[in-house]
Amino acid sequence: MTLADILSADQIIIDLQAADRWEAIDELLAKLVFCNKIKPEHQAPIAAVVKKRESSMSTGIGLGIGIPHASTELIPEVVGAMGRSRRGVSFEALDNQPVNLVLLFLVPQGQFQKHLHTLAGIARLMHNKDFRQALENATDPASMFEVITSFSARK
């Protein structure tokens, strides 16, 4: 499963407004509700699960990247949303730097292998400097998704 499989241009926020990781999680979950990827009544319980996971250890992995994620029984398939912040989001990242690219993804409860493979694939892609630079240079969600599709197709 690639990043292009769990995102669409509609699930990308080109100008994330969040100041910290908690606001970023809420903003990305609101986007998933707006895109009908999660039910409105599930937003708060899913936020609680993601924030609980995030509280145990920040998913700010360095290089300006945050990958908040969780498993939940409230979704039938893997879903995600991405946000880009020009000013940076305080994420308590491993390198203590602000995060500019936040990718939130959710995996159905009990799909541990899928969760690990999805996280590993996303982390590998996000560590590619050319990929990050192309996302930073994209002018709108559609062009960001084109970058994701292009890089996801590469092996």
Catalytic residue positions? 69
* End-to-end Cα separation, the chain, in angstroms: 13
User: In angstroms, what CA-CA distances link 6 with 32, 57, 70, 82, 91?
Assistant: 11, 24, 14, 10, 23
Under the phi-then-psi rule, with left for phi > 0, alpha for psi from -120 to 50, and beta for the rest, what region is 3?
Answer: alpha
Residue 13, SS3 per DSSP: strand
d(CA 104, CA 137): 20
